[in-house]
Amino acid sequence: MKKDKFSHISDDELLQRFLKNKENEWLGILLQRYTLLLLGVCMKYLKDEEEARDTVQQIFLKVLQDVQKYKIENFKPWLYMVARNTCLTILRDKKKLYHEEISDKNNFYNDFTIGDEFNNAQNDIPIELLEVALKELNTEQKQCITLFYLQKNSYQEVSDATGYSLLQVKSFIQNGKRNLKISIEKKLKQSQNNV
């Protein structure tokens, strides 16, 4: 079906035909009318053409899932709101991920402060001790910790470099930090007992 063939049909009528017959073709014609508008909205918020195109596809799927859940009085403003909210969610998720990364990077050495049984002078972990503890980690944890903290890569960059998913990267980093802390505390206790 060509768009020109249906240009005389209003948005509301196309939407009603879809809702009545459940034929995706009607909704497809309606969405096709606004593809450029959606791309423009996504570009405005996301500032990246490829990501904007991907987001338009997400919006199409979201509309397909949600269009029957709501009583839509005016399709174009409703579609704009869906597009805007989708973009804002993407930006919020990116910001959250960025803040998690910054927070994690800033807290790396702070996480290795040792409990009250050691005096403050020993809270400064010797780099040699950290290197030894790092070598004891499993391959995945060592790789992710090194790329994230020591080479200052983002979660996404670590994921790209290793082939692990973002969830796996975060898990390896979190578990690696915990294992490093346990190992360092154990080594410090041993060295203090030997004194």
**Tens digit of each residue's pLDDT (9 = 90 or more) over 25-46:** 888 888 999 999 999 999 998 9
Predicted confidence band of residue 57 (pLDDT cuts 50, 70, 90): very high
Residues 191, 195: Cα–Cα separation, whole Å: 6
pTM of the predicted protein model: 0.47
Query: Which tops the pLDDT comparison, 192 or 60?
Result: 60
Which pLDDT score, from 0 to 100, does residue 117 have?
34
Residues 119, 173: Cα–Cα separation, whole Å: 28
Is there a contact between 78 and 72 (Cβ–Cβ < 8 Å)?
yes
Q: Is the dihedral of CA 144, 111, 188, 120 positive or negative?
A: positive
Query: Which tops the pLDDT comparison, 172 or 129?
Result: 172
Residues 119, 112: Cα–Cα separation, whole Å: 14
**Residue 54 pLDDT > 90, yes or no?**
yes
**Tens digit of each residue's pLDDT (9 = 90 or more) over 96-152:** 666 666 665 555 555 554 333 333 334 456 667 777 888 899 999 999 888 887 778
**Tens digit of each residue's pLDDT (9 = 90 or more) over 60-75:** 999 988 888 878 888 8
What is each CA distance from 34 to 27, 41, 48, 79, in whole angstroms? 11, 10, 19, 9
Which pLDDT score, from 0 to 100, does residue 97 have?
65
Q: Does domain 108-193 have CATH number 3.40.50.1220?
A: no
Write down the CATH number for the domain with range 4-96: 1.10.1740.10
Which pLDDT score, from 0 to 100, does residue 104 have?
59
Tokens of 123: 């809270």
- Domain spans of the chain, in order of start: 4-96, 108-193
Residues 79, 10: Cα–Cα separation, whole Å: 15
Rounded to a whole number of angstroms, the CA Rg of the chain reads 26
Which pLDDT score, from 0 to 100, does residue 58 have?
93
